[in-house]
Amino acid sequence: MGYAMMKDDEGQEDVVALVSRLTSGQLECLLLVAEHLSSKEIAAELDISPHTVDQRVRGALATLGVARRQQAARLVAQVHGPYQRLIHQPPHVAAAPAPIQQEGAISNQIRHADRAGGTVTAGSQTEQDIALRRSLLPLPFATRSQPRNEMSVGYRLLWIVLIAIGATFSAGMYLAGLESLARLLGN
């Protein structure tokens, strides 16, 4: 068992020595090959031509003494570890929670803002605004407070019907305006 371990260590040292002879461009390409990307995808990722990618991979194959690009990618991954691509992050990042204040202070601030004629500071909401938002339909487009469309199928169908009714009403009003204009000009 000791001989097998020693043999593996020597093999690992040989792999490290071979991989250390690769250029940085060859390493980048082979790490992306390990992620199962094609030459065109690697070229787009590194902002080079696919021909350059193939040249780098061929040079790496000759340096490492292997016949296939996946073999070369495995050897590089053994030494450098797997290549970690960027993780997709959604465009909307939730806002930090508001600082915790005393319950009485908030309700007094809201009551006084209502009495003062609606002069509410930025960021504070009145109880009426909160109740109104809860009672209304969610809007069919992105807003600052609701950047993603998370409406149910029922709400979506309702908005389709409401928009169709609004379009019909608008078209009727337009035609009625044209008819009244024609009557004015005809007399």
pLDDT digits (tens, 9 = 90+) for 101-136: 555 555 445 554 445 555 545 455 566 665 555 557
Tell me how many helices (H) and strands (E) the chain has: 8, 0
Domain extent for 121: 107-136
Q: How confident is the model at residue 1 (pLDDT cuts 50, 70, 90)?
A: very low
Domain match, 14 and 75 both? yes
Q: How confident is the model at residue 51 (pLDDT cuts 50, 70, 90)?
A: very high
Q: In this structure, is residue 50 part of a structural domain?
A: yes
Domain match, 14 and 60 both? yes
Rounded to whole angstroms, the Cα distance separating 59 from 23 reads 9
Confirm if 12 and 58 have CB atoms less than 8 A apart: no
Q: How confident is the model at residue 86 (pLDDT cuts 50, 70, 90)?
A: low
Q: In this structure, is residue 42 part of a structural domain?
A: yes
Q: What is the pLDDT of residues 89-98, one digit of tens each?
A: 566 666 667 6
pLDDT beyond 50 at 60: yes
Percent of the chain residues topping a pLDDT of 70: 63
**pLDDT at residue 125, rounded to an integer:** 58
List the CATH number of the domain containing 33: 1.10.10.10
Burial class (CB in 10 A: 0-12, 13-18, 19+), 55: middle
Domain match, 69 and 131 both? no
How many domains is the chain built from?
Answer: 3
Domain match, 33 and 65 both? yes
Q: In this structure, is residue 98 part of a structural domain?
A: no
More confident residue, 24 or 112: 24
